[in-house]
Structure 1
Amino acid sequence: MPDTDTFFNYPNDVDNYGFDWGRLAVTLAPQVNGAKTFSAAVVHVPPGKGHDRHNHPGSEEIIFIVKGTGAQMVEDENGVPHTKTVGPGCTVFIPESRFHSTLNTGDEPMEIFVVYSPAGPEELLKELPDFHVIPKSALGG
């Protein structure tokens, strides 16, 4: 059983995953606090940045826009891309293994909360060529 302090996490409490397009703080996952069926992260995307089209084989994803505005693309079951403008309060469902991408089209950073079910996609991000760790000590955590 994890320490109860791990029940409560802020993005700066954990090492962040850095990328050319922004950063991701995995605040809930098997390796963070023993979660078994899903993982979650807070994503920060600077203006004009975004992540390329990708998918998470075997996992569904929920994207919730906390702040900022962007263009969210989700491909349908036939591989046809559908792009919508998203902003605070918008929830986006990404079906299992479906390709998607996010681009910050606004003037302020986007803050996004994501949930993966089952857990695992957050670990695969470490294999990307631009991945680097941003220590929590560098974030004030």
Structure 2
Amino acid sequence: MSRFVMNDDVAVAQFDWGSAGMRADVPSTGCESFVVMDVTLGPGKMHDFHKHPDQDEMIIVKSGRVVQWLEQDSRELGPGDSVYIDKDVVHGSFNEFGETAELQVILAPAVGEGGYELVDVSGDEPWSSLRG
């Protein structure tokens, strides 16, 4: 259903790695084409190595900085930088800096009941020892 999504209407979930506010997903908007999230990573926090088997992803840095891993390659990303990730590709976002990082994340297509799927691989090699 088409609608305006006001900032105060965005449901924000807290995680040990930060927070995610769902702007467009199956439960909140009925959107089955894509999912849009506002993600925050506090200083020293991370969204550890994971993959989305059936979803492509775009991560856009809105403020702050992160070290973004794409498979075994990493780059520091700052405001305006982004990364496109094909489905089933391992990646992780790590805030190694002193300020909160704000990201906008788009996944497509929406998958499952909540529109979002994730497979944590942070305990598997080479991911568990990649960052040293």
Indicate the TM-score class for this superposition, using the shorter chain for normalisation.
0.7 to 0.9
User: Which of 54, 63, 66 is the matching residue for 1:67?
Assistant: 63
Pairing 1:82-101 to 2, within 5 Å after superposition: 82-101=73-92
Aligned to 1:78: none
Counterparts of 1:49 and 1:122 in 2: how far apart (Å)?
Answer: 24
Aligned to 1:32: 28
Look up the equivalent residue of 1:96 and give its one-letter code: K
Unmatched 5+ residue regions in structure 1? 76-80, 129-141
Deviations 1:84-126 (A, max 9, x none): 000000010011111000011221100000000001375446x
Q: Name the count of aligned residue pairs.
A: 118
Q: Say whether 1:104 aligns with 2:100.
A: no
Counterparts of 2:115 and 2:51 in 1: how far apart (Å)?
Answer: 12
Report the secondary structure of 1:32's partner residue.
helix
Counterparts of 1:123 and 1:26 in 2: how far apart (Å)?
Answer: 10
Deviations 1:45-95 (A, max 9, x none): 0001101100001100000000001100011xxxxx100000000010011
Once superposed, what is the RMSD of the aligned Cα atoms? 2.0
Higher relative helix content: 1
Q: Say whether 1:9 aligns with 2:6.
A: yes
Contact 1:26 1:122 in 2 (8 A): no
Unmatched 5+ residue regions in structure 2? 121-132
Report the secondary structure of 1:105's partner residue.
coil
Counterparts of 1:42 and 1:119 in 2: how far apart (Å)?
Answer: 16
- Percent identity for Structure 1 against Structure 2: 31
TM-score using structure 2 length: 0.81
Instruction: State the 4+ residue runs in structure 1 displaced beyond 4 angstroms.
Output: none
Aligned to 1:114: 105
